[in-house]
């Protein structure tokens, strides 16, 4: 297996260097802004505060937000490079403290804005039409906003409470090392999570089983501790948002922040709960037959259909494939994707202590985003690269919407990334593949469909149950038993699930980082299947509509953005259409 020796590593010094005058200056500036911004309080309350004053105020707020995003983003990137770095851990805490102080100094503006009479607020929004959606969304949270002293306390509490617990979770889990004694020949010593999980796609059943058993041996050993972190995070989330802010239930908080009606999310999860076991159950039965197995084990769901050729794809070759795939759809999309590597904003090299997984961090509209992944020479890494560079394309296309509106809402945040994977898959499928290679690629696309639609939807269904159980004082073992039941419901009689998978849930960072995030993956994938189908039918005529979705960023409600591309109502029929596309992927397998 190839390593990432030829893969790039970003140059964070373009943002800051630790201990540099620039970093110290901007940290001082944040403190100054925290002290000076409250001068606006008597001005906005004055009767003669007019549209010109409001434009000046919003301009200052935009500048403040850009600086805060740059500093906060840098601290996160610095920590991601090596989560065991004690200086990075401490620096994250320092920056978080300063940003909480800033947030509290700006709080009076949000409270004033939410309390304005509708007529006056509308007049101010007319003065800054490019910020209308952002300002409307602020007012939408009025029913769930507390008093200024209460909001200040919550901000301060979060910095040393849930936010600190998430850092603790990351520090613990990114420090795990896993034995490879299960490999033929006795393995190659201890490895990281990223290196271990390569083996769950091995062609040898005993290697797949060994990798999973080792993974859950390590996670289950500290499972109760990790579960305790989750239980406290879940209770804190409920206390703040249900008990204090008055939301109906914890999921409703995320739906509101995503600007999605509860009914749309309920429809998505209802259809996934009905269709995923049927569609993916059929896939798993076909896969078992192709592998000569009576029934797959949970260890086998990502098994290749045949022994893969030894992969050692140079990073530059993978980047070239992504560039060509994007460019065949839109040269502009390819250019923006390649800008990340050209700007030295891409960290793909394997490094000790590096955060597992992959992400794209868009800090400010005027600069290319930053992408982190670990490239190991596999085809799967090519798809990860396409995914994260798709995110980068999305935020760059929406850069003109400004700091408050260029980030897409979570339901649309996976649109460009998942579409990028589809473009890469189509390029590889049409390339110089023999029949076994073509079948293996089709199987890869089906495996990806399961991982992004079925798996994430059932994660989301479990998450609601887990939050309820945590509120009622359930133990770690009881929550794990519930998760095991969730797995057996989604797989039915198509997969044998071993007991150690009960601890899988404590290994899912999103449950800890961003409650109820994960349905966005199912939403985004099913949406992209619909959009890709339109592209196949319409060809180049579809490209402007798709780019328009990306250009709008987060400047409109998700449903309004989709309507501009002619996407129909997000009802049961829409989501079932996505599953029909998935069923089509199985043809010939």
Query: Per-residue pLDDT tens for 72-130?
Result: 999 999 999 999 999 999 999 999 999 999 999 999 999 999 999 999 999 999 999 99
For residue 1, name the pLDDT band (cuts at 50, 70, 90): very low
Largest alpha-carbon pair distance within the chain? 80
Asked if 569 and 264 touch (Cβ cutoff 8 Å), the reply is no
pTM tops 0.95: no
CB 273 within 8 A of CB 266: no
Domain harbouring 100, CATH code: 1.20.140.70
pLDDT tens for each residue of 490-531:
999 999 999 999 999 999 999 999 999 999 999 999 999 999
User: For residue 137, what are the domain limits?
Assistant: 12-160
Calculate mean pLDDT across residues 20-32: 96
Q: How many domains does the chain have?
A: 1
Q: Is 188 exposed, middle or buried (0-12, 13-18, 19+ CB in 10 A)?
A: exposed
Q: Residues of 385-408 as b/e, b for ≥16 C-beta within 10 angstroms?
A: bbbbbbbbbbbbbbbebbbbbbbb
User: What does the pLDDT read at residue 588?
Assistant: 61
pLDDT tens-place string over residues 298-326: 999 999 987 767 678 999 999 999 999 99
DSSP per position, 524-578: HHHHHHHHHHHHHHHGGGGHHHHHHHHHTTTSS-HHHHHHHTT----SHHHHHHH
pLDDT band at residue 565, thresholds of 50, 70 and 90?
Answer: confident
* Residue 264 predicted with pLDDT over 60: yes
Per-residue pLDDT tens over the stretch 174-228: 899 999 998 887 777 899 898 899 899 999 999 999 999 999 999 999 999 999 9
Cα separation, 477 vs 461, in Å, equals 18
Overall average pLDDT of the 12-25 stretch:
96
Whether residue 559 is predicted with pLDDT greater than 60 in this model: the reply is yes
Q: What per-residue confidence (pLDDT) applies to 310?
A: 65
The DSSP result for 427-490, as a single string, is: HHHTSS--HHHHHHHHHHHHHHHIIIIIHHHHHHHHHHHHHHHHHTT--HHHHHHHHHHHHHHH
Spatial distance between the Cα atoms of 367 and 372, rounded to a whole number of angstroms: 16
pLDDT of residue 566: 84
pLDDT at 180: 92
Tell me whether residue 43 is in a domain: yes
- Cα separations (Å) of 404 from 96, 130, 137, 300, 556? 20, 10, 11, 44, 12
Q: What number of other Cβ atoms are within 10 A of residue 339's Cβ?
A: 17
Average pLDDT of the segment spanning 292-298:
95
Pinpoint the alpha helices (H) of 12-85: 21-36, 40-44, 51-81
Residue 180 lies in a domain: no
Establish if 88 belongs to a structural domain.
Answer: yes
Within a domain: residue 99? yes
Terminal alpha carbon distance of the chain: 27
pLDDT above 90 covers what percent of the chain? 84
Q: Helix, strand, or coil here: 47?
A: coil
C-beta neighbour count of 463 within 10 angstroms: 26
Domain assignment present for residue 208? The answer is: no
Q: What pLDDT, on a 0 to 100 scale, did the predictor assign at position 411?
A: 86
Answer yes or no: is 437 within a domain.
no
Closest-CA residue to 319 (of 387, 386, 417, 374): 386
Mean pLDDT of the chain: 93
Quote the pLDDT of residue 5.
58
Report how far residue 444's alpha carbon sits from residue 462's, in angstroms, rounded to the nearest whole number: 25
Q: What is the pLDDT of residue 435?
A: 79
Question: Is the pLDDT score of 3 beyond 80?
Answer: no
pLDDT of residue 2: 47
584 CB contacts (<8 Å, ≥6 apart)? Answer: none
> At 432, is the pLDDT very low, low, confident or very high (cuts 50, 70, 90)?
confident
Residue 435 lies in a domain: no
Is 17 inside a domain boundary?
Answer: yes
- How many whole angstroms separate alpha carbon 391 and alpha carbon 419? 10
* Predicted pLDDT at 38: 95
* 170, 514 Cβ separation under 8 angstroms: no
pLDDT, position 57: 97
Say if CB 556 and CB 255 are below 8 A apart: no
């Amino acid at each position: 297996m190839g390593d990432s020796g030829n893969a790039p590593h970003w140059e964070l010094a373009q943002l800051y260097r630790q201990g540099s005058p620039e970093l110290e200056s901007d940290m001082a500036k944040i403190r100054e802004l925290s002290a000076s911004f409250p001068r606006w309080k008597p001005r906005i309350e004055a009767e003669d505060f007019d549209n010109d004053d409001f434009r000046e105020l919003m301009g200052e707020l935009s500048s403040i937000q850009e600086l805060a995003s740059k500093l906060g983003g840098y601290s996160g990137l610095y920590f991601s490079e090596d989560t065991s770095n004690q200086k990075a851990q401490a620096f994250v805490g320092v920056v978080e403290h300063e940003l909480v102080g800033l947030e509290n100094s700006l709080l009076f503006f949000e409270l004033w804005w939410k309390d304005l009479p509708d007529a006056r607020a509308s007049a101010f929004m007319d003065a800054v039409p490019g910020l209308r959606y952002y300002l409307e969304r602020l007012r939408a949270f009025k029913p769930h906003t507390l008093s200024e002293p209460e909001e200040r306390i919550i901000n301060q509490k979060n910095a040393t409470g849930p936010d600190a617990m998430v850092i603790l979770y990351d520090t613990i889990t990114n420090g795990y090392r896993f034995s490879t004694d299960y490999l033929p020949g006795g393995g190659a010593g201890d490895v990281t999570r990223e290196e271990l999980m390569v083996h769950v796609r091995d062609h040898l059943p005993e290697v797949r089983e060994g990798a999973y058993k080792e993974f859950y041996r390590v996670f289950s050993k500290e499972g109760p501790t990790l579960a305790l972190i989750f239980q406290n995070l879940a209770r804190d989330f409920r206390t703040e948002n249900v008990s204090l802010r008055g939301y109906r239930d914890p999921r409703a908080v995320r739906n509101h922040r995503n600007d999605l009606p509860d009914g749309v999310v309920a429809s998505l999860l209802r259809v996934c709960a009905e269709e995923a076991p049927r569609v993916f159950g059929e896939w798993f039965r076909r896969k078992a037959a192709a592998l000569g197995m009576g029934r797959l084990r949970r260890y086998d769901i990502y098994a290749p259909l045949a022994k893969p050729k030894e992969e050692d794809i140079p990073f530059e070759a993978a980047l070239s494939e992504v560039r060509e795939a994007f460019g065949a759809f839109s040269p502009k999309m390819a250019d923006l994707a390649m800008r990340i590597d050209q700007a030295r904003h891409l960290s793909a090299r394997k490094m000790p202590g590096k955060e597992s997984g992959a992400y794209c961090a868009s800090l400010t509209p005027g600069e290319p985003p930053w992408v982190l992944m670990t490239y190991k020479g596999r085809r799967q890494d090519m798809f990860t690269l396409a995914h994260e560079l798709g995110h980068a394309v999305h935020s760059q296309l929406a850069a003109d919407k400004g700091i408050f509106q260029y980030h897409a809402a979570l339901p649309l945040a996976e649109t460009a990334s998942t579409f990028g994977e589809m473009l890469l898959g189509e390029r590889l499928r049409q390339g110089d593949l023999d029949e076994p290679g073509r079948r293996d690629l089709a199987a890869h696309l089906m495996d990806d469909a399961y991982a992004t639609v079925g798996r994430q939807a059932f994660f989301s269904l479990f998450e609601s149950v887990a939050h309820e159980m945590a509120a009622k004082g359930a133990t770690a073992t009881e929550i794990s038993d519930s998760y095991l039941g969730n797995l057996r419901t989604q797989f039915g009689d198509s997969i044998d699930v071993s007991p150690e998978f009960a601890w899988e849930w404590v290994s899912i960072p999103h449950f800890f980082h961003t409650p109820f995030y994960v349905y966005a993956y199912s939403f985004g994938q099913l949406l992209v299947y619909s959009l890709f189908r339109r592209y196949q039918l319409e060809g180049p005529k579809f490209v402007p509509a798709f780019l328009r979705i990306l250009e709008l960023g987060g400047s409109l409600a998700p449903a309004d953005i989709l309507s501009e591309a002619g996407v129909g109502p997000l009802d049961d029929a829409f989501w079932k259409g996505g599953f029909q596309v998935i069923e089509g992927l199985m043809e010939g397998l």
